[in-house]
Amino acid sequence: MATTAPKQRSETAEQILDLAETLIQTRGYSAFSYQDIADSLGIRKASIHYHFPSKADLGVAVVDRYMARFDGALTAIADDQSQSSMTMLDVYVQPYLQFASTPDQVCLSGALAGEMMALPPKVRERVDHFFRTHQVWLTKILERGVARGEFTLAAPASKVARFVFGALQGALLVKRTTNDMSQINDVIAVMKLQLAARPSA
């Protein structure tokens, strides 16, 4: 599924998107309303409907903007051929560590995935696209690492990519539950040890 390029929006629209993104990451998509946004921003609900006629429209806009930021960052990482593959992964995990450093935030798409069956179809499509895009990106970085003699994989790169992505997303949820930062730090440390391991002679 191709996402449309984000259009230029007004300051009010960006404020609505910023707040909606935070609310999804902390409460969930189903747990906030346009009234919550209106009260927080000091605007009328009609102003929100003007920019985003329905909550589904708002959800799509939030996810599209989030994906555009992530896609730009992933492209920039992959295009820098001077970096080692492990450095690329270090850059990739930074947003996860940033979310984990907050009391209650998780990855936007990870938060949405937790209520997938209750989401509007267009939002569900975008969450699925986000997950698949990241797994494809990770697969390419892992294959690059193997080709350069930097990684040793215990399974095909596509399967390891799913493992890495799932472990990072899951660690964020466990960290939010336990408030224990080591939940994600340990996952990242073991992941890097496994990738850098050399087969026994």
d(CA 174, CA 179): 8
d(CA 105, CA 88): 23
Q: What is the DSSP letter of 35?
A: H
99, with CB counted inside 10 A (0-12, 13-18, 19+), is buried
pTM of the model: 0.86
| Residue-by-residue pLDDT tens, the chain, 201 positions | 444 444 678 999 999 999 999 999 999 999 999 999 999 999 999 999 999 999 999 999 999 999 998 888 888 888 888 899 999 999 999 999 999 999 889 999 999 999 999 999 999 999 999 999 999 999 999 999 999 999 999 999 999 999 999 999 999 999 999 999 999 999 999 999 999 977 655
